[in-house]
Amino acid sequence: MGGRRGSRTQRKHFKQSRENVWKRPKTESSSDPNNPNSNNPAWQPFATQNPSFDEYYREQGIVSPEEWDAFMEMLRKPLPAAFRINATSQFCEDIRSQLENDFMKSLQAEAIEGGDLEPIKPLPWYPDNLAWQSNFSRMQLRKNQTLERFHEFLKLETEIGNISRQEAVSMVPPLFLDVRPDHFVLDVCAAPGSKTFQLLEIIHHSAKGRFLPDGMVLANDLDVQRCNLLIHQTKRMCTANLIVTNHEGQHFPGCRSHKNISNGSDTTNNLEQSIPQLLFDRVLCDVPCSGDGTLRKAPDIWRKWNGGMGNGLHCLQIHIAMRGLSLLKVGGRMVYSTCSMNPVENEAVVAEILRRCGGSVELVDVSNELPQLIRRPGLTKWKVRDKGVWLPSYKDARKLQRNGIVPSMFPSGKNYADLTNNNQKSENGESVNAEDVVQPDDTISSIDDLEEEVSDLSLQLCMRIVPHDQNTGAFFIAVLQKVSHLPAIPDKSATSQGKLSTRSELHENLSDQAAEEINGLEVSSVDGADEKILEVASKAEENISEMALEAADEKISEETSEVDEKISEVALEADLVDDEPAGGAPESNSSEAADKKTDSAKTGEKRKLQIQGKWKGVDPVLFFQDETIINSIKAFYGIDESFPFTGHLVTRNKDANHVKRIYYVSKSVKDVLDLNFRVGQQLKITSVGLKMFERQSSREGSLAPCSFRISSEGLPVILPYITKQILYASPADFKHLLQYKSIKFADFVDADFGQKAADLILGCCVIVLREDHIQADASAIAIGCWKGRSSLSVMVTAMDCQELLERLSARMETEKNGTLEPESLGVLDKKQDLSGENRTPLEDHNVEAMKIQDTNASE
């Protein structure tokens, strides 16, 4: 329903991305490569070789010559599918048991009998058998009933959120972060969100017994459309400990507050200051890369690959990693990773990070962690290739005048500058130490005669995962720890460029402290805006003291406000057309804005603009403080006073009368939002919080004392605190609700339960499955329902109902040692004659609904 609709809308986001060559057009797909009688000339086998690729990686020595053939053979095979069980799911144990005792054993038996099937198996290095791998073709899927049943199981559980499909090697970086439930975690380049989901799992799973974890995850991505994919992915987690932002990773805002409100002098915000600056305990930098480690699942890379792909990304990767380290707390851990095999994107980046940070950052030896994961040490020597020429050192790049090559790409990282330059400056304007300056020779030797550079850093502590070791993709991982504050980075001269012209140049030419002050500033394209920013930045650079920085910050805010006002005026004047506004991102709820159209033909008034926040096209994030609505919700559901309400509710609409959704945030997310308000909303937030309450817009809903219902996503969080509008149903009646969706009060098997349901107040209510324990906690199985005048109706999607029915049936079968007595459970047996004379009133009322139920939802 809602999830499916969002899933379909996401397909347009892939239109401009890399083509999926596994899927041929229909005109071509009819030809069978294995059919010798196929005479369709349009079909061509996928090219799985590239001479440049072979030459490049043979020379780099990422595998020994003896292994080369096995390495290349594995790269040409399709990648096995992998998936991970959500450790925080209510049915985690049930799903794992079904995989171990049903699907795995069934497929093993078929393999023993002579079949060509490869059984599913858990990944040996992933903790608690929560990650699995399967390897079968579409043809096998269509021909084997067990595989077909397994495939349907995967689709259902993935849609619900109990299972996440993810490449096996992609699961590795979060495991080395050593995340704990109280950690603030930054995922710098998070989309499409599989690692973010995994980080949230770890935080919630390790916080068992607590209301909500004290930590949180901030997931960021540069691309808005990919942010939408990230939101769609993480929605299945149902968490209040997540913020999704949309920034360049290398320019992520520092959010440092210089306002001292300890004496209560801050009159604009009565909320207590919790954190002065946004710093993180853990940072994951899974940076953009050439992606040649994903050749097995993206074979189009074979024909597109060239040796210069990594060179073009090298500097960006360094900037993102350095920004991540600057946002990391002292003592914190950062994981740098890529899905590339290129040392220029991997070891070269890590080496440059270590050089820039001096002794403040160290590589961590994690060889004792995940012992069953086969990994190889990082390289200490490599070459750079540019335009068909091998460059063992930067000295050779200078000889050949290769301007796109920088010293950090080479193992030593040394600059080779002309010592006759009195200022001792390198090409990019940086000061060069005398011991790092090497005079170039007059002649160029052949590659066999050139001396290779070898890094003196402990790069062997990095990890390389190669495909033929464990039948996976390729990956690179480096674990770094920040042991002290980063050293000051020397300012770069701007004289070679003439003047600063872009925001990235501004960041490069300010000191770290000044850059962090101006980092969060975003100004739209209005003439004179950039000049004003640069003028303020220059003043801040002249005097880097705290007072000067605060003054610069205030000045920038004033200038930005003037520009924003001008933009608003221009936009208002231009908004004369009565067309509907374009649809926004899933979490940018344009429908919530007070944008009801007036009859312009009669009034002549302009259409009211959607209320937006500081960031163009993004709805504001506001703390919900309408006491009338909050008190009505509290009174209607009897929410216990111990439930933390104050400051934890947010909305995306300033007009409380038109708010459709109210989101709940954890204490950690609340603190970050507080800080973001104090620093002028530097964070561009696209999604935040867990949807807790939703306005019931139906006619019957408007008659209810409380117009807000509890959402399915937020129910587990608030369930232990509800004292009204809550009932406990027997397994029979609970399954009836899931099967038939709507039941009249008189038709319940338990007449007492039906009477209690009739006595409820009109509106939303919660039905909890009555098990051995009576108290409703976060682990209890519960659904939201609507109490109408004569019936109780389920407010859960059809897919959720189906999955819950299957889980309950499987659990009851297990408890009864494999035997199930439908009559004792009050569940109608679909095998009996539906036209019989002995049907109950419930069966008469729902017989048609019964016929269309999926057979998988039967007892």
Task: Please identify which of the residues 92, 227, 285, 339 carries the catalytic annotation.
Answer: 339
Give whole-number Cα distances, 461 to 365, 366, 476, 824, 857, in Å.
6, 8, 11, 61, 51
Could you confirm whether 315 is annotated as catalytic?
no
Q: Which residues are annotated as a binding site?
A: 189-195, 221, 286
Q: What angle (nearest 5°) sits at the alpha carbon of residue 667, between those of residues 664 and 671?
A: 105
CA distance 46 to 329: 47
Name the 3-class secondary structure at 705.
coil
Confirm if 636 and 761 have CB atoms less than 8 A apart: yes
Q: Which of 683, 605, 637 is nearest to 227 (CA)?
A: 683
The binding site for S-adenosyl-L-methionine comprises 189-195, 221, 286
Distance CA(298)–CA(51), nearest Å, equals 18
Taking the C-alpha atoms of residue 763 and residue 128, their distance in angstroms, rounded to an integer, is 42
How many CA within 13 A on the CB side of residue 713?
21
Dmax over CA atoms of the chain, in Å, equals 105
Structure tokens at 706: 């409380």
Q: Locate 488 and state its tokens.
A: 């000051």
DSSP 542: H
Nearest Cα to Cα of residue 752 among 775, 728, 784, 768: 728
- State how far the Cα of 664 lies from the Cα of 718, in Å rounded to an integer: 10
The answer, yes or no, to whether the previous bond of 192 is cis (omega within 30 of 0) is yes
**CA pseudo-torsion sign 47, 52, 53, 55:** positive
Q: CA neighbours within 13 Å on the CB side: how many for 245?
A: 24
* 3-class secondary-structure state, position 338: strand
Measured CA to CA in angstroms, residue 70 lies from 76, 101, 469, 613 at distances of 10, 34, 10, 55
Phi, psi of 117 (to 5 degrees): -85, 145
Q: Please report where in the chains the tokens 């996928």 appear, as a residue.
A: 46
Sign, CA torsion 386/389/391/397:
negative
Catalytic residue positions, numbered: 339
